[in-house]
Amino acid sequence: MSEPLRIALAGLGTVGAGVIRLIEANAALIARRAGRPLQVTVVSARDRNKDRGIDLSPYAWEDDMVIMGERADVDVVVELVGGSDGPALALARTTIEAGKGLVTANKAMIAHHGLELAQKAEAAAVPLKFEAAVAGGIPVIKGLREGAAANEFSRVYGILNGTCNYILSTMEDTGRDFAAVLAEAQAKGYAEADPAFDIEGTDAAHKLSILAAIAYGAKIDFGSVDASGIAKILAADIAQADSLGYVIRLIGMAEADGDRLFQRVQPHLVPFDHPLAHVDGATNAVVAEGNFSGRLLFQGAGAGDGPTASAVVADLIDIARGEAGAPFSVPVAELVAMAPAETGHRMGRSYIRFVVADRPGVLAEITAAMRDAGVSIESLIQKGRHEEGGDVLVAMVTHEGPESAVAEAVRLLEGSASLTRAPLVMHILSD
């Protein structure tokens, strides 16, 4: 058998420890499949003395993780530190410039600096792999880049953030409001103490920009992702969606429109009979619609030590086999700079929710704004007041029409004294 693939591991959190456990537990199987053993030689983390439940004595320790990229006893570096810049990016640059392969689970770094790192990797003729950066243990990057590589994709979309999906599906199951379920998710470790990165849609936007670049051979463009999160969703919205035959899910969607690229992360109403409607808890799922493959569904655990470690080690096995390939499917020079797509002309149906003062004339004001903007109402529901003189929830579903008309109707109602909070618009996912 060939010489071992010597690995430096930066970051010994949940995933880093999981990588070591996996390599140790499945060493013989991995060596057979890779054609050579995988051998961790050096590790680095912030706290050398922390108990991680694994024996680190077989491995050298490096206090300055950036140095690992230049060590003579390292063939490939695994970066599991996180953060779009700082030490993680310094390590990535040093590693590639030193002629060594890089494996990372860092979606923020790839979303912000992936093109630069891909250029460096191509120039140095070294592999850059990031399967674990999107959807944890689900092999969706490999699926798009390899398994479905012969297809032209009409859409790539899915549930890309497990924290948001856990919150929404728990709201659905319990009838509780967002704040209460978020607090529970934080207590259980499903949400961070500062959950903004997840609940505002940023995490999903990072992942979507990576998937879009791979699916469409485009230069990654995180800055053009239109992202909104789930914090404004009420338990009443969940209940209304259910009564109409939908669940609410945070969906990241990418579509090519000629030489333009549409990228948006937004809560959607998903029909009961759509595969994504049945994705509960912290699970992730991605749908890719190929012109010959048809609809492909990738579903599984989107985070956690085992699934994410599995994706990291799968990348290491590819490198051990000598399988590299272009990080974004095609060589950097062939990646296309796609301008952001205009969204106003997009056709579809929408759910619009208003919270209004309980007084005469409010409903007429809302329907007049819809009429003036050219929005056709399919159904309208007005919930009874919570208490005497309290606010009222008005929800409607529109007939199919341009998104620009819905945006204009909302604009016409800006500043209205009748509205006690900003309207919420969620588009309805179509087949």
Q: Which of 207, 219, 232, 383 is catalytic?
A: 207
Tell me, yes or no, if the pTM score tops 0.85: yes
pLDDT for the residue 384: 62
3-state secondary structure of 200: coil
Q: What is the pLDDT of residue 385?
A: 54
Query: Residue 323's pLDDT is what?
Result: 87
Q: How far apart are the first and last CA of the chain?
A: 50
Q: What is the per-residue pLDDT for 158? A: 97
Architecture of domain 347-428 in this structure: 2-Layer Sandwich (3.30)
CA atoms within 13 A on the CB side of 151: 21
The class of domain 5-137+321-325 in CATH terms is alpha beta
Query: Which pLDDT does position 273 carry in this prediction?
Result: 95
Would you call 207 a catalytic residue per the annotation? yes
pLDDT at position 389 is 53
Can you give the pLDDT at residue 261? 97
| Structural domain 140-301, CATH architecture | 2-Layer Sandwich (3.30)
Q: Divide the 431 residues of the chain into consecutive groups of 10 and give the mean pLDDT of each group.
A: 92 94 97 97 92 92 95 97 94 98 97 97 97 92 94 97 94 95 88 91 97 96 96 95 95 94 98 96 94 95 87 97 90 95 92 92 94 95 63 93 96 93 95 78
Q: How many CB atoms lie within 10 A of CB 415?
A: 7
pLDDT confidence of residue 382: 84
pLDDT given at position 388: 46
Domain extent listing, the chain: 5-137+321-325, 140-301, 347-428
Query: Whole-angstrom Cα distance, residue 60 to residue 201?
Result: 38
